[in-house]
Amino acid sequence: MPLPTFTRRSLLATPLLLAACGKPVFNGVDLTGSSWGQSLSLPDTEGRVRSLADFRGKVLVLFFGYTQCPDVCPTTLSELRAIKEQLGKAGEDVVPLFVTVDPERDTPQLLRDYMAVFGGVALRPGSAEELQRVAREFKVVYQKVPGTVEGQYTMDHSAQCLLFDRQGRLRVYSKYGTPTPALLADLKVLLDE
């Protein structure tokens, strides 16, 4: 059953009203004020412990994955690299932050080489407990999936991008497969705040 004309008009006007009130309108899910995703403390590929505070003044795009990922991870990181290029000078203020869910295989050197292709910073939990803690904080799920050959495996994992503003606050959940222009628009909103 179609919506009454008044209801359709109200739904269409809602984003305009929010924008007029000064509240940003995101393509992704607006997480402004959420109580989770506020604490991050993991070593980078040089062994330095990094936190969200280390990136204040930048817009962060937090993504969990692993270097052996055949599709989702390289696709997402390639899109982020392309977005940074499209942003020109402003792209210098966007930092992709990649957290491995496979520290068993993702050595610091492998992560350095991987991120050299895409740009950004890689973080590597030092223990299974540390990975579980950070995954819980950012509502990420992951699971080792045995392969058909003994000793081989893949990692199933959440594939969203979490966007943080320049003050280090979680603001947007962008699901995997979000069109690049939509993600670009959300990053522009955060860059312009």
pLDDT of residue 22: 63
**pLDDT confidence bin for 96, thresholds 50/70/90:** very high
Q: Identify the burial level of 64 via C-beta atoms within 10 angstroms of its C-beta, where 0-12 means exposed, 13-18 middle and 19 or more buried.
A: buried
Q: What pLDDT, in 10s, does the model give residues 54-95?
A: 999 999 999 999 999 999 999 999 999 999 999 999 999 999
Alpha-carbon dihedral 50, 172, 191, 91, rounded to 10 degrees = 70
Band of the pLDDT at 173, cuts 50, 70, 90?
Answer: very high
pLDDT of residue 145: 94
In angstroms, the CA 120 to CA 114 distance is 10
Do residues 71 and 156 make contact, with C-beta atoms less than 8 angstroms apart? no
Listing DSSP states for 57-115 in one string gives TSEEEEEEE-TT-SSHHHHHHHHHHHHHHHTGGGGGGEEEEEEES-TTT--HHHHHHHH
Count of beta carbons in the 10 Å neighbourhood of residue 137: 14
Round to whole Å and give the CA distance between 80 and 159: 13
**Where are the chain's structural domains?**
24-192
Residue 40 in contact with residue 137, Cβ under 8 Å? yes
Q: Identify any residues that bridge with 153 across adjacent strands, giving them in sequence order.
A: 146
Cα end-to-end distance, the chain, whole Å: 40
Looking at the structure, give the CATH architecture of the domain made up of residues 24-192: 3-Layer(aba) Sandwich (3.40)
DSSP summary character for residue 40? -
pLDDT computed for residue 21 by the predictor: 54
Helix (H) or strand (E) holding 8: helix 5-20
